[in-house]
């Protein structure tokens, strides 16, 4: 009895299980309403029991959009919550390498259901593993979940519908070796096991090939229905069908969870959040397209309303162009740091396959009304030539909560109007440049190894060019290292200026910005041409921080008065003749 009481007070998982059990028993016994009534007058009633937290870990066959994850959530009572951390295209190794397992552990779940195998198979660069590595990974999942006081549950991989030509109606699963190793680990380490491989084969064989097509999504390659079926992933009917198998096995493997597992789902045909998007890009094939360019091509020309493309986590390489005919394109990344549009060449390097007009540029947007949110744009070429992560040409672009990474000329904005908010933009030389009227609102502008923050070439007849509102300017003195290990551009102190004029009438203004100590006291640069001092329109208002030094600024730059600063609002800067309000 003493041991039992000790366990009750020290084991959080047990505590939640007991609370959930009592909760379930009371409901099933019909006592809920009487109990509610009898305790209604008690103002000091105990708070509701903490929910049991179940965390799902795995590949696309566990996700809400293409696997059984969303279906599993339909079987949970209100006494449990499920967080699905599964990610398409990940193996037991790459999931860990990307830090996803660390993030999953940080959720402090009570139970971790772990399923891998599909992407460990041969032929998947960056993901495939040998069997010893797979086993080592799976053992680590078990041990590390237990180390935080959680209970791991191993799940053998959902079968692929691989029909055996020599034995009609039978499945010959390429995942069988992975399932067998998971069974061994579960037996040797006394881990609860959900044998989804065996149960899913049993179900599929009982239904036969034709019936299995009912829960198999159509085979879509870059937006084109091939007429075939996807024999790995699940549609909305399959999500619940195979989740039911997981729940049945989980009741047996972890019977203490039975009170929080429903017999029937809340929704027999749940719709994944991805359904609200016009296109879904996922490198593993679980979306509508495998490349961003293919998703753009599928958008209607001159669209009157937004065409929204969900970008699943992954690195999407190669040049991407949004043509002028593709208006209202919207990129929405699922994870900021892990949804990366990357390019690795500068203007001086061979750019095979790139548009010759746009050498050294990762993403080019010609179309109007472009939006991007939660996406990383990067050019990895380094500090040895112009290498753009993003070039905006179209009007009325909005970039929200994005990262722009590079060294030289990271961002070019041309001719039109753009609005950046809550973004991180980094580089060394002229890493924000162009002729546009652009507002940077509450952004971090990060200089690497000194250099020049801006290089505007604002037309003379345009009243405003680049305007930074409530931004933070930070710096890092470390230089770029070449592949040979040689540091680049180390001749001058790693200090930066706020801008230099690419053309005579450059217009750049900083209002209420915090400037780091990396900013030079003089603040501005005339690009070795004193004549520019007569025409460049450079100004600050209420700069703060160690880099704010009005008394030391060049005499040809301006400190705005309160009345002059009132003209610099987003609406006044970007409104134009059409009254645009980003």
C-alpha span between 299 and 287 (Å, rounded): 15
CATH topology for 291-379+386-414 is Pectate Lyase C-like (2.160.20)
> Any idea what DSSP says for residue 82?
E
> What does the alpha-carbon distance between residue 267 and residue 75 come to, in Å, rounded to a whole number?
9
The DSSP bridge pattern shows strands 437-441 and 466-469 to be parallel
- C-alpha 22/C-alpha 26 separation (Å) is 6
User: Is-contact 394 365, C-beta < 8 A?
Assistant: yes
Helix axes 196-212, 176-188, angle to 10 degrees: 150
CATH code that applies to domain 51-269: 3.40.50.1110
What the block records as the tokens of 443 is 């952004």
Q: Which residue positions in the chain have pLDDT lower than 70?
A: 1-46, 48, 220-226
DSSP E strand boundaries for 123-222: 151-155, 193-194, 218-221
Q: Is 208 helix (H, G, I), strand (E, B) or coil?
A: helix
| Rounded (10°) angle between helices 32-39 and 12-28 | 110
Can you give the pLDDT at residue 286? 81
pLDDT score for 223 = 63
Domain 426-435+449-582 grouped into CATH 1.10.443.10 = no
Tell me the pLDDT tens digit for each residue of 331-343. Answer: 999 999 999 999 9
pTM of the model: 0.79
C-alpha atoms less than 13 angstroms from C-alpha of 500 in its C-beta half-sphere: 16
Q: Note whether 90 and 121 are within 8 A (CB).
A: no
Given the residues 409, 476, 562, 563, the one annotated as active site? 409
Going by C-alpha positions, the residue among 401, 272, 260 that lies closest to residue 336 is 401
Do 574 and 437 touch, CB atoms closer than 8 A? yes
Q: Which stretches does DSSP call E strand in 116-249? A: 151-155, 193-194, 218-221, 224-229
Give residues with Cβ within 8 angstroms of 412, minimum separation 6.
361, 388, 390, 391, 392, 433, 434
Closest CA to 397 of 365, 423, 428, 426: 365
Tokens of 522: 């003089």
Beta strands in 385-490 (DSSP E): 388-392, 397-400, 403-405, 411-413, 417-421, 424-434, 437-441, 444-456, 466-469, 472-476
Active site residue 278: no
Do the Cβ atoms of 430 and 385 come closer than 8 Å?
A: no
Which of 296, 277, 302, 299 shows the shortest CA–CA distance to 287? 277
pLDDT of 387 reads: 98
CA torsion 365-370-371-377 (nearest 10°) is 0
Stated length of the chain: 582
Which residue shows structure tokens 């779940």? 109
Is 42 assigned a catalytic role?
A: no
| Helix count and strand count (H, E) for the chain | 13, 31
Q: Where are the domains of the chain?
A: 51-269, 291-379+386-414, 426-435+449-582
Question: On the CB side of 451, how many CA atoms lie within 13 Å of its CA?
Answer: 32
Q: Are strands 218-221 and 224-229 parallel, antiparallel or unpaired?
A: antiparallel
With a CB cutoff of 8 Å and minimum separation 6, the contacts of 206 are: none
Which residue(s) pair with 413 in the sheet?
392, 434
Say yes or no: do domains 291-379+386-414 and 426-435+449-582 share a fold: yes
Measured CA to CA, the distance from residue 537 to residue 275 in angstroms comes to: 48
The answer to whether residues 320 and 364 touch, using CB atoms and an 8 Å cutoff, is: yes
Q: Which of 395, 430, 470, 497 is catalytic?
A: 430
């Amino acid at each position: 009895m003493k041991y039992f009481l000790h366990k009750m007070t020290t084991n959080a998982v047990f505590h939640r299980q007991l609370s959930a059990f009592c909760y379930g028993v009371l409901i099933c016994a019909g006592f809920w309403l009487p109990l509610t009534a009898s305790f209604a007058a008690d103002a000091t009633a105990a708070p509701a029991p903490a929910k049991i937290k179940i965390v799902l870990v795995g590949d696309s066959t566990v996700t809400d959009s293409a696997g059984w994850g969303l279906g599993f959530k339909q079987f949970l009572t209100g006494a449990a919550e499920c967080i699905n951390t599964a990610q398409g295209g990940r193996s037991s190794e790459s999931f860990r390498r990307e830090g996803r397992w660390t993030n999953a552990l940080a959720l402090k779940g009570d139970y971790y259901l772990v399923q891998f195998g599909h992407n460990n198979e041969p032929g998947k660069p960056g993901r495939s593993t040998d069997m010893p590595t797979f086993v080592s990974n799976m053992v680590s999942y078990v041990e590390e979940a237990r180390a935080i006081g959680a209970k791991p549950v191993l799940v053998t991989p959902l079968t692929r519908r691989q029909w055996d030509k020599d034995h009609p109606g039978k499945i010959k699963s390429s995942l069988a070796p992975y399932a067998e190793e998971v069974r061994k680990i579960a037996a040797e380490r006394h881990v609860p096991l959900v044998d989804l491989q065996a149960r899913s084969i049993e179900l599929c064989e009982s239904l036969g090939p034709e019936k299995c097509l009912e829960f198999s999504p159509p085979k879509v390659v870059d937006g084109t229905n091939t007429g075939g079926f996807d024999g790995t992933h699940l549609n909305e009917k399959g999500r619940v069908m195979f989740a039911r198998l997981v729940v049945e096995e989980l009741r047996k493997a972890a019977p203490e969870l039975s009170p929080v597992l429903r017999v029937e789902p809340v929704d027999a045909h749940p719709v994944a959040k991805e359904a609200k998007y016009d296109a879904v890009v996922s490198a593993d094939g679980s979306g509508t397209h495998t490349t961003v360019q293919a998703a753009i091509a599928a958008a209607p020309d001159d669209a009157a309303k937004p065409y929204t493309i969900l970008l699943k986590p992954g690195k999407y390489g190669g040049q991407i162009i949004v043509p002028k005919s593709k208006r209202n394109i919207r990129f929405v990344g699922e994870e900021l740091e892990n949804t990366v549009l990357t390019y690795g060449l500068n203007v001086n390097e061979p750019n095979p396959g790139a548009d010759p007009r746009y050498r050294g540029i990762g993403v080019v947007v010609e179309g109007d009304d472009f939006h991007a949110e939660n996406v990383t744009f990067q050019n990895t070429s380094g500090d040895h030539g112009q290498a753009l992560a993003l070039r905006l040409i179209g009007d009325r672009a909005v970039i929200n909560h994005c990262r722009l990474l590079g060294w030289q000329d990271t961002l070019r904005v041309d001719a039109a109007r753009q609005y950046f908010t809550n973004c991180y933009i980094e580089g060394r030389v002229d890493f924000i440049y162009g002729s546009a009227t652009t507002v940077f609102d509450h952004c971090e502008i990060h200089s690497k190894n000194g250099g020049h923050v801006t290089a505007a070439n604002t037309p003379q007849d345009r009243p405003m060019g680049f305007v930074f509102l409530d931004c933070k300017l930070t710096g890092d003195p470390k230089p770029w290292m070449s592949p040979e290990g040689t540091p680049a551009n180390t001749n001058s102190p790693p200090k930066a200026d706020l801008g230099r004029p690419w053309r005579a009438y450059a217009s750049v203004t900083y209002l209420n910005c915090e400037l780091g100590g990396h900013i030079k006291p003089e603040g501005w640069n005339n690009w070795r041409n004193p004549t520019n001092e007569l025409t460049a329109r450079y100004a600050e208002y209420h700069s703060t921080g160690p880099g704010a030094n009005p008394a030391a600024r060049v005499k040809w730059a301006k400190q705005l008065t309160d009345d002059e600063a009132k003209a610099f609002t987003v609406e006044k800067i970007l409104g134009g003749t059409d009254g645009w309000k980003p």
